[in-house]
Amino acid sequence: MTLTETRRYPPDNSVGLNPVGLKSIELVKRFRTFKRLKTVKSWLCLGLFVCQPAAAEDLVQYSTIGALLAGEYDGDMSVARLTRMGNFGLGAVNGLAGEMMALDGAFYVADAQGKTTRLEADSRMPFAIVTRWQPQQTRSVQNVKNSDYAALQQACAGLADNPNVPAALRIDGLFSELLLRSERPQQKPYAPLAQVMKTDEVRFRADDVRGTLIGFYTPGYLSGVSVPGYHFHFIAEDLRLGGHVLDAQLAQGNISVQLLTGFRVEFPDNSRFARLNLFEDHAQALRRVEGLEGLPE
218-272 residue pLDDT tens: 999 999 899 999 999 999 999 999 999 999 999 999 999 999 999 999 999 999 9
pLDDT of residue 51: 45
Domain of 215 in residue numbering reads as: 22-287
Alpha-carbon distances, residue 148 vs 145, 177, 290 (angstroms): 9, 9, 16
Q: Which of 75, 59, 67 is nearest to 22 (CA)?
A: 75
Sheet holding 106-110, edge to edge: 22-28, 262-268, 58-62, 127-131, 88-92, 99-103, 106-110, 116-118
User: Are the C-beta atoms of residues 67 and 285 closer than 8 Å to each other?
Assistant: no
Enumerate residues 6+ apart whose C-beta is below 8 A from 270: 21, 76
Residue 3 falls inside a structural domain = no
Q: What is the mean pLDDT of the chain?
A: 84
Who wins on pLDDT, 100 or 48?
A: 100
Instruction: Provide the H-helix boundaries in 169-246.
Output: 193-199
User: Are the C-beta atoms of residues 175 and 251 closer than 8 Å to each other?
Assistant: yes
Q: Which of 39, 221, 235, 251 is nearest to 119 (CA)?
A: 235
- Count of domains for the chain: 1
Share of the chain above pLDDT 90, in %: 68
Residue 166 falls inside a structural domain = yes
Per-residue confidence band for 57, with pLDDT thresholds at 50, 70 and 90: confident
Mean pLDDT of 202-227: 96
pLDDT of residue 286: 84
Residue 103 falls inside a structural domain = yes
pLDDT of 105 above 50: yes
pLDDT of 33 above 90: no
pLDDT of 1 above 70: no
Host H or E run for residue 61: strand 58-62
Mean pLDDT of 102-130: 98
pLDDT of residue 6: 59
Residue 85 falls inside a structural domain = yes
Residue 244 pairs in a beta bridge with 181, 233
Count of Cβ atoms closer than 10 Å to residue 169 Cβ: 25
Residue 10 falls inside a structural domain = no
Sign of CA dihedral 141, 148, 229, 277: positive
Enumerate residues 6+ apart whose C-beta is below 8 A from 262: 26, 28, 29, 30, 31, 54, 55, 57, 58, 59
Amino acid letter at 13?
N
Residue 189 falls inside a structural domain = yes
Tell me whether the omega of the peptide bond preceding residue 53 falls within 30 degrees of 0, making it cis: no
Q: Whats the size of the chain, residue-wise? A: 297
CATH number of the domain enclosing 84: 3.30.1330.80
Q: What is the pTM of this model?
A: 0.82
Residue 14 falls inside a structural domain = no
Residue 224 falls inside a structural domain = yes
Enumerate residues 6+ apart whose C-beta is below 8 A from 56: 132, 134
pLDDT of residue 10: 52
pLDDT digits (tens, 9 = 90+) for 156-180: 998 988 999 999 999 999 999 999 9
244: helix, strand or coil: strand
User: Are the C-beta atoms of residues 265 and 52 closer than 8 Å to each other?
Assistant: no
pLDDT of 209 above 80: yes
pLDDT of 36 above 90: no
User: Are the C-beta atoms of residues 167 and 160 closer than 8 Å to each other?
Assistant: yes
Q: Of 62-76, 96-110, 270-284, where does mean pLDDT reach its minimum?
A: 270-284
Share of the chain above pLDDT 70, in %: 77
